[in-house]
Structure 1
Amino acid sequence: MRLADLAAMIRSKNAGPFTLTFDILFTDDASYERVKRSGALNAQMFARLYKTDPAKVRFFECDKARAFKFSIPHPTTQAALGSADLHGGQQFIPLLDVRIP
């Protein structure tokens, strides 16, 4: 099953000019726990997906909020010449197809 089929919201945004942050939120405990138990979301997977150093990925599991949060260095400075996404709002797309066993 795809992450997009289980999560209520998958979003990305700038967290300042040098950091992108990603939120994956669930409406029910069962879906959140399924994803958490699968281990499919982790810093190494995220680093591969976004072509960054795993040591620079900040990964949080937020049980009370039924959410996962990832933050990575922005590949370019926000609003830099050549930056394709001023607000970081389109960077979540690769997460939609992450497979959850």
Structure 2
Amino acid sequence: MKTVKDVCRHVRSKNAGPYWVTFDLFFDGPENFAKYSQSPALGADLMHRLFGASPDQVKRFAVPSLNVVKISYARTSPQGGEIERDMHCGQQFARLLDVQLD
């Protein structure tokens, strides 16, 4: 079974303002982008399960010319709040690497 780390050459997460987090999945080519960019495994349910995001607050954008999928979700609490563990969200991507896509 293929995972995100098997089909993406780079995965990153970042702060998208005080209320949003964004993930960028750079697929390793047009073939894998075409095969996995619309995978239900990368949907709102995943963001809810891994990060507690409200499924109706998850947005997904595909950029075919770059073989990239951008997934954003509203934070459960604002950036810098009392329970903040990763203020810039630079480490959040790690949870996506082993997500199975098949």
Q: TM-score, normalised by structure 2?
A: 0.85
Percent identical pairs in the alignment equals 34
Equivalent pairs, count? 101
Could you say what secondary structure the match of 1:48 adopts?
A: helix
Quick check: 1:29 aligned with 2:30?
yes
C-alpha distance in structure 1 between counterparts of 2:38 and 2:88, whole Å: 32
Moved over 3 A (4+): none
Q: TM-score, normalised by structure 1?
A: 0.86
Could you say what secondary structure the match of 1:82 adopts?
A: coil
C-alpha distance in structure 2 between counterparts of 1:94 and 1:33, whole Å: 23
Q: Is the alpha carbon distance of 1:18 and 1:38 closer, same or farther for their aligned partners in structure 2, counting shifts above 3 Å?
A: closer
User: Are the aligned partners of 2:47 and 2:73 in contact in 1 as well (CA < 8 Å)?
Assistant: no
Give the alignment's Cα RMSD to 1 decimal. 1.7
For structure 2, list consecutive stretches of 5 or more residues without a partner in the other structure: none
- Aligned pairs for 1:18-57 within 5 A: 18-36=19-37, 38-57=39-58
C-alpha distance in structure 2 between counterparts of 1:17 and 1:4, whole Å: 28
For structure 1, list consecutive stretches of 5 or more residues without a partner in the other structure: none
